Amino acid sequence: MHLNWLGQTCVKLQTKNLRDEDVVILIDAYKPATGDFPRSFTPQIAVYSCGDDNAATLSQDPLIVDTLGEVEQKDTMIYALPGPLGGDTAVFKILAEGLTIVHLGRLNRKLNTETIAKLGNPDILFVPVGGEKNQTLDAEDAVATVTALEPRIVIPIAYQCDTDPKAASVSDFIKNLGLKPDITDKKIIIKKKDLPQEETKLMILEKNL
């Protein structure tokens, strides 16, 4: 699975289905007020944690997931669960290529115990760490969320970049988490066989269009 971070909470996953076809899953492709961001996308699946207002342009008629519930498409299972604010925000559990991916969208407060139980212990966790100025978790609450979910790999998102200049630096989260990044790159490729078996690894995705 290929992982890219495009700024804010926007993540692109490129995976393979059972017929060995490429499947692109686009999460939170909201147009920013400033900075560089693609004008359009061609995913097979597009997922939104806060509805599709101000969404980027999509072509080729992808499946849109912008409400709570569960859906299966192209051998990918997506569970959209309510965030701490009920129906106003969503967090996602995605099963693809034998991996369990959790994306916490624009989460801005700790998860409740019921949601933690439903999310389980993901293989890959995307956690927003930008703090109050970009209306997501601060470093301390982000670390508490990582501790609660116990992922094998944690990847911070929504940190400071050209499209989100007011957000906190990723260094604040790294310092609070107390882990040295295992990988820092513009694209990360993860296979199930390469997952850490005992410890949680921190990987840093740099913004990549």
- DSSP label at residue 55: B
Q: Which amino acid is at 26?
A: L
- What is the C-alpha separation between 116 and 94, in angstroms, rounded? 15
Q: Which of 171, 120, 113, 177 is nearest to 144 (CA)?
A: 177
Q: Which two tokens mark 85?
A: 């604010």
pLDDT in tens, 69-95: 999 999 999 999 998 765 578 999 999
Q: Which of 50, 91, 95, 52 is nearest to 72 (CA)?
A: 95
Going along the chain from its start, the domains and CATH numbers come out as 2-205 (3.60.15.10)
pLDDT in tens, 127-153: 999 998 888 999 999 999 999 999 999
Average pLDDT over residues 102-123: 95
- Give the sheet arrangement for strand 153-157, strand by strand: 69-73, 76-83, 86-96, 99-103, 124-128, 153-157, 201-205, 183-185
pLDDT tops 70 at residue 209:
yes
Report the predicted TM-score, pTM, of the whole model to 2 decimal places. Answer: 0.96
